[in-house]
Amino acid sequence: MRNRIWILAADGNAARIVKDVNLLKDGRQQPEVESYEIEGRRAQDIMADKPGRSHSSVGHGRSAMEYSSDPVREEQHRFAVEIAGKLDHYALENAFENLVICAAPKTLGDLRKLLSAHVKEKTVAEIDRNCVAVPTDQLIATVKSVVFPG
C-alpha cells in the first residue's frame, strides 16, 4: 500500500492541495492539484459601503462609525475556515494518510485553530512559509527537505 501524502500550500487568498505526493521518489512528479482562490480585495474596496454615521449623545454633532475589525482579515479567516472544512471532509474519507501544511504565518495560525483533531493527527509537518506561488516541483522539494532533512 502506498503512503498517500498530501501537501497544502495556503495563504489568506489562495490555497493549493497537492495530492498523492511521493517524497521518496526523485525526479519530476505530476500529482493531482486542487486549487482554491478568493478575490483578493483591498480594505478600501470592502469598506466602500461605509458603516454610516451616528448622532452624538450630547449636542447636534454627528460622527463616523468605524468597523469593529479588519474586513480583509475577516475574509481571509473565512477562507481558512473553508479550507479546513475541505481537509476535514477528505480526512473523514481517508483520502490521505499524511498531510504537510505550508502556509503563510497568519493563515497557519488560523488553520491550527480550525483543523479538526482527525486532520491534526494526520499532519506530519508544518512549514511557516507562503508557498502558494511556488511551482509544484519546488514545493515538493521544499517539503522533502523538511520531512527528510539531510
* CA–CA dist 96, 89 (Å, integer): 11
- Residue 42 gets which letter from DSSP? -
Q: Which CATH superfamily is domain 5-37+70-147 in?
A: eRF1 domain 2 (3.30.420.60)
* CA–CA dist 43, 143 (Å, integer): 33
Quote the mean pLDDT of the chain: 84
Q: For Cα atoms 5, 123, 36, give the angle at the middle one, nearest 5 degrees.
A: 70
What's the pLDDT at 16? Answer: 97
The 3-state DSSP class for residue 34 equals: strand
Which grid cell sits at 141?
Answer: 522539494
Best CA proximity match to 128, nearest among 109, 147, 149:
109
What's the pLDDT at 129? Answer: 93
What's the pLDDT at 56? Answer: 55
- pLDDT, average across residues 86-101: 96
Spell out the domain ranges in the chain.
5-37+70-147
Residue 33 contacts residue 19 (beta carbons within 8 Å)? yes
- Residue 88 gets which letter from DSSP? H
Task: Give the whole-number percent of the chain exceeding pLDDT 70.
Answer: 75
Q: How confident is the model at residue 30 (pLDDT cuts 50, 70, 90)?
A: confident
How do residues 106-140 score in pLDDT, each as one tens digit? 999 999 999 999 999 999 999 999 999 999 999 99
How do residues 47-66 score in pLDDT, each as one tens digit? 545 555 555 556 666 555 55
pLDDT surpasses 70 at 91: yes
